[in-house]
């Protein structure tokens, strides 16, 4: 509750004015981005349930690519790319996709890890990292 003053018979109350209202161009960019973020995203955090965070790899009907033929073809194209670069890894992934159902997420993770290890091997860091592994 604000206090009301009487000066020369006029009722004067304090007005809360922020610097953002007076100088909108001088507003810190963090405040502007935070305000715009809250207008787009209502919640500040994304909550993951155990079901969404832990995907069942061997339940093909729960995968979004189960009914979509384009997504299924995408899984096998990515699998062929892994087969070209690393035959044993690609064969294991092909068996997983055939027996366990197509899984785009797992296939993309295997592709990324295969690319990472191929790049480390080409850079000469593969031998260095393999010596650090406990035997």
Q: Could you give the number of structural domains in the chain?
A: 1
Distance CA 123, CA 135 (A): 23
Within a domain: residue 87?
yes
pLDDT in tens, 46-84: 554 555 445 555 566 666 666 778 888 899 999 999 999
pLDDT in tens, 23-42: 767 767 777 777 777 666 66
Higher-scoring residue by pLDDT: 43, 39:
39
Tell me if residue 56 falls in helix, strand or coil.
Answer: coil
Within a domain: residue 95?
yes
CB distance 91 to 85 below 8 Å:
no
Residue 115, domain extent:
69-123
Within a domain: residue 79?
yes
**Among 89, 93, 27, CA closest to 57:** 93
């Amino acid at each position: 509750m604000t206090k009301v003053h009487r000066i020369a018979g006029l009722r004067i109350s304090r007005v809360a004015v922020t610097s953002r209202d007076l100088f909108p161009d001088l507003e810190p960019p963090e405040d502007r981005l935070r305000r715009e973020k809250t207008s787009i995203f209502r919640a500040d955090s994304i909550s993951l349930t155990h079901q969404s965070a832990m995907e069942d790899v061997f339940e093909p009907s729960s995968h979004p690519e189960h009914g979509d033929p384009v997504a299924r073809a995408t899984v096998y194209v990515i699998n062929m790319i892994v087969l070209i670069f690393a035959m044993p890894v690609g064969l294991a992934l092909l068996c997983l996709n055939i027996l366990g159902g197509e899984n785009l997420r797992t296939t993309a993770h295997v592709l990324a890890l295969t690319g990472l290890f191929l790049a480390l091997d080409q850079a000469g860091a593969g031998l260095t990292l393999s010596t650090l592994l406990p035997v």
